[in-house]
Amino acid sequence: MTTQSVTIGLDQTRRQQLGRRAQMLAGASVAYNVIEAIIAISAGLAAGSVALIGFGLDSIVEVSSGLIILWQFRHKVPETRERQALRLMALSFFALAAYVSIESVRALVAGEQPQSSPVGIGLAIASLMIMPFLSWAQRQTGKRLGSNAVVADSTQTLLCTYLSAVLLIGLVLNATLGWAWADPLAGLVIAAVAVKEGREAWQGKGCCAPAPSNDASRGDCASACCAHED
């Protein structure tokens, strides 16, 4: 069964249920990332780790992403805020890419040697265990709703998973082999992915995916974020 047939077949009650699920997942993401940011930044300052501090600031970007979804679905017709939500999401992608790029280049040029951080390693492992499931749930909910903003939020969460892997590899390599350059180099790759996702969100790619409705005529660009602005 295609995404189009699923989204067109949703009734109002099911849409409301999915909307509440989207808000619940966004709330869970915000709560987790607030805790993650506090731990990562504190541990990063203690160890002198640019990677950990950057990871913590990325968590703050994740918080903004979740708040955007909560803002969108507080509206009685969330589809009317789809374009604005996508644009705000794109800006958060670009902010993430800019910061990670700057800090990665700075770390490479400076050749910084941060101390090992068991707390940071534990945090990265926890995020690797939690974030993929949260991203999957967000993506499935977004697809069923026909909401590109919710799908973009799931991509933000998935990028956090990638950054967790990068952070873990960097911290472990630094602690065991002294390879301080591994983390910032991989960070540049993550930044490139963030730019790509931000560009697609800004352009509203996939925007013509049908909005959830019983009216099949809404399955074109006259629907959802392509047509409505608050």
Give the H/E segment covering residue 137: helix 118-145
Per DSSP, the three-state class of 210 is coil
Residues 6+ apart with CB under 8 A from 86: 148, 149, 152, 201, 202, 204, 207, 225
Residues 6+ apart with CB under 8 A from 102: none
Distance in angstroms (rounded) separating the CA atoms of residues 195 and 197: 6
pTM recorded for the entire structure: 0.66
What structural domains and CATH numbers belong to the chain? Answer: 3-227 (1.20.1510.10)
- pLDDT of the residue at 205: 60
- pLDDT of the residue at 35: 93
Q: Which residues of the chain have pLDDT under 50?
A: 1-8, 206-230
- Burial of residue 51 (number of CB atoms within 10 Å: 0-12, 13-18, 19+): buried
